[in-house]
Chain A
């Protein structure tokens, strides 16, 4: 079972196994071991504090990719009282790496789009590890336009290692599909709230992440490139991903500092997968707050604000043309 857990969780899992063992023993031998169990519970809490207080960027990547990490349909199932999935791009096919549909969240009718990864080997392949093909992005676009026509806000759950990396995706215009989604989202006259729940990696992520409010779960990551790919380029060694994860500044805390996101949604101690109920309570509150605030804005103001939100992002030296920059540009 240990392979379903991360190396960093190992001390924790060992304590948990001991607790289980003691509980079994207590029942079998009809003994009172509650003292011992309580002491182990204390040790477990301390270990959790110790491990999860200060995860490195690379450990965050591991957490974001955790095989037990909740996926879009887990959140939808827990947060929505109703859910109707819509399928197909009306042009070529239905991409299972993307889910899209209509739901009811806290009494509010919403449209939801998101990446969906699979749990077992078969489903993982079916859902292509959450890597969207053009069909999936076009399905999301179709459902967002439907939402706009019926004035439904959009919630987008992002969790992808990138867009589909196949010849077919190229043949059917993956670039155009990523670009078009961003264009459509930038003009959509209804509130859009983005939640990066796990991996927010490269073009596949930004294709679903243009919105009014962008939040990240505490142990998710958001990056222009996968740390492994970056390490291949930077160090010519994909195993140096730990270093490139550090260099790329990909944690939620980094993204907040750079104003790329508005909010970090705290995860239960030990990560979202250890307590989905608690996670959804916190996330539900954050989503409800965002939707209530954004729904109060008239559509044209919403779109204008969204434009300005992305418009101001960038790191540049901007001197008036007639003032020389402090460091002279070579060659001039």
Chain B
């Protein structure tokens, strides 16, 4: 069979190295390239499925939908397009799940929905997740994939940074664990709030993690930054992470560390 005769869904091209991978094994590897280790971004529901025990996820707050507090140009259309594309009401999914039998409060953002940006619904869902974790005294885990605060909701988005950070403070005071998992990308307003406040911070290999975008720094400072700037490995070297864990090992790592904190 010639390469161009292979049906589209049989092979998947790696975004990292360009290698053609057998889709079936790529999916079995959790969308991680077997050649170069590139971790493809996961939609929120796939991420949750990957981490929790089969069928254990019970979604919370799925009814929360965004509004347009500023009447911001183009927001309505962008949001509707994102809703159609992702079948989500907004960029964040939260709920109760079990990881190797242990109940947890688990949240994940979806980059396909407006860059996984944090507006009011995202902030409210994370806050409710953390508050329920506190109330039920079960560990909270968030997995972020986001470009930061949602510009289109203006100050309402900025306020979500304070709101979610305050909710983490309460968990800490009550000694309920919170683990922040950073997947590609985890930047700006989300990285500068709850996502940087985990008792443990775990990143996926190669994830982009930072506050200000590299291009903005390059333009402002008129400098050239190294290619690995703000990679998970760069952040690890600068003391900003506890560990870098490949996707296949993520679930057992979460189970193990929670066990060491709680059992």
Find out whether the CB atom of A170 lies under 8 angstroms from the CB atom of B159. Answer: no
Give the Cβ gap from B68 to chain A, nearest Cβ, in Å.
8
> Can you list, as one digit per residue, whether each of B137-152 has a CB less than 8 Å from chain A (1) or not (0)?
0000000000001010
Interface size class of A (residues with CB under 8 A): 35 or more
Q: Is the CB of A249 within 8 A of B155?
A: yes
| Cα distance A242–B108 in the bound complex, in angstroms | 36
> Is there an interface contact between A167 and B193, defined as CB atoms closer than 8 Å?
no
Q: Which residues of A lie under 8 Å from residue B159 when comparing CB positions?
A: 206, 260, 310, 313-314
**Pairwise interchain contact A314-B123, C-beta atoms closer than 8 A:** yes
Q: Report yes or no: A173 in contact with B238, Cβ–Cβ below 8 A.
A: yes
Q: How far is the CA of A171 from the CA of B160 in the complex (A)?
A: 25
A interface footprint on B242-263 (CB within 8 Å = 1, 0 otherwise): 0000000000000000000000
**A141 and B48 alpha carbons, distance in the complex (Å):** 35
Contact with B along A301-332 (1 / 0, CB 8 A): 00000110011011111111100010001111
Contact A222 B155 (CB under 8 A): yes
Q: In this assembly, does B19 line the interface, its C-beta being within 8 Å of a C-beta of chain A? A: no
Q: Which residues of B contact A166 (CB under 8 A)?
A: 217, 221
Q: What DSSP secondary structure best describes chain B's contact surface?
A: helix
A315–B189 contact, CB under 8 A? no
Residues of chain B with a CB closer than 8 A to A313's CB: 156, 159-160, 163
C-alpha gap A248/B168 in the complex (Å): 28
Interface membership of A38, Cβ < 8 A: no
Q: Is the CB of A316 within 8 A of B155?
A: no
Given known contacts A170-B211, A318-B64, A183 and B73 CB-to-CB distance under 8 angstroms:
no
Q: Are B170 and A224 in contact (CB under 8 A)?
A: no
Chain B residues numbered 174-197 whose CB sits less than 8 Å from any CB in chain A: 188-189, 191-197
Which chain A residue lies CB-closest to B149? A224
Q: Which of these, A180, A229, A260, contacts B197 with CB under 8 Å?
A: A180
Give the residue name and chain of the A residue nearest to B209 (CB).
A175
Docked-complex contact B221 and A249, CB < 8 angstroms: no
Interface size counted on chain B using CB atoms at 8 A: 68
- The reply to whether the CB of B22 lies closer than 8 angstroms to some CB of chain A is no
B163 to chain A, nearest CB (A): 5
CB distance from B174 to the nearest CB of A (A): 12
Once bound together, how far apart are the Cα atoms of A250 and B211, in whole Å? 22
CB of B166 closer than 8 Å to a CB of A: yes
Is there contact, CB below 8 Å, between B166 and A183?
yes
Interfacial chain B residues near A248, Cβ < 8 Å: 70, 72, 151, 154
Q: How far is B63's CA from A29's CA once the two chains are assembled, in angstroms?
A: 80
Report A187-203 residues with CB < 8 Å from chain B CB.
Answer: 187, 202-203
Interface: A237 (CB within 8 A): no
**Cross-chain contact A179 with B196 (CB below 8 angstroms):** yes
Max chain A Cβ within 10 angstroms of own Cβ: one of B74, B192, B217: B192
Compute how far the CA of A186 lies from the CA of B220 in the bound complex, rounded to whole angstroms.
Answer: 32
User: With the chains together, A254 CA to B157 CA distance in Å?
Assistant: 14
Find out whether the CB atom of B217 lies under 8 angstroms from the CB atom of A170: yes
A224, B121: Cα distance in complex, Å: 16
Instruction: Report whether B155 and A175 are in contact in the complex, using a CB–CB cutoff of 8 Å.
Output: no
A143 within 8 A of B: no
A78 on the interface (CB 8 Å rule)? no
In the bound complex, how far is the Cα of B155 from the Cα of A173, in angstroms? 24
Shortest CB distance A288–B (Å): 25
Q: Across the interface, do A316 and B67 meet the contact criterion of CB distance under 8 Å?
A: yes
- Answer whether residue A247 sits at the interface, using C-beta atoms and an 8 A cutoff: yes
| With A167-B225, A170-B229 as contacts: A316 and B121 at CB distance below 8 Å | yes
For the complex, is A169 an interface residue (Cβ under 8 Å from B)?
Answer: yes
Q: Could you say which residues of chain A place their CB within 8 Å of the CB of B192? A: 163, 174-175, 178-179, 203, 207
The CA of A234 and the CA of B68, in the complex, are separated in Å by 16
B155 touches A260 (CB 8 A): yes
Q: Quick one: which of A170, A175, A182 contacts B166, CB cutoff 8 A? A: A182
6 closest Cβ pairs, A-B complex: A314-B120, A186-B166, A315-B69, A331-B87, A182-B165, A178-B192
Additional 4 contacts, C-beta under 8 A, given A183-B168, A316-B120, A331-B86: A172-B238, A307-B170, A314-B156, A316-B121
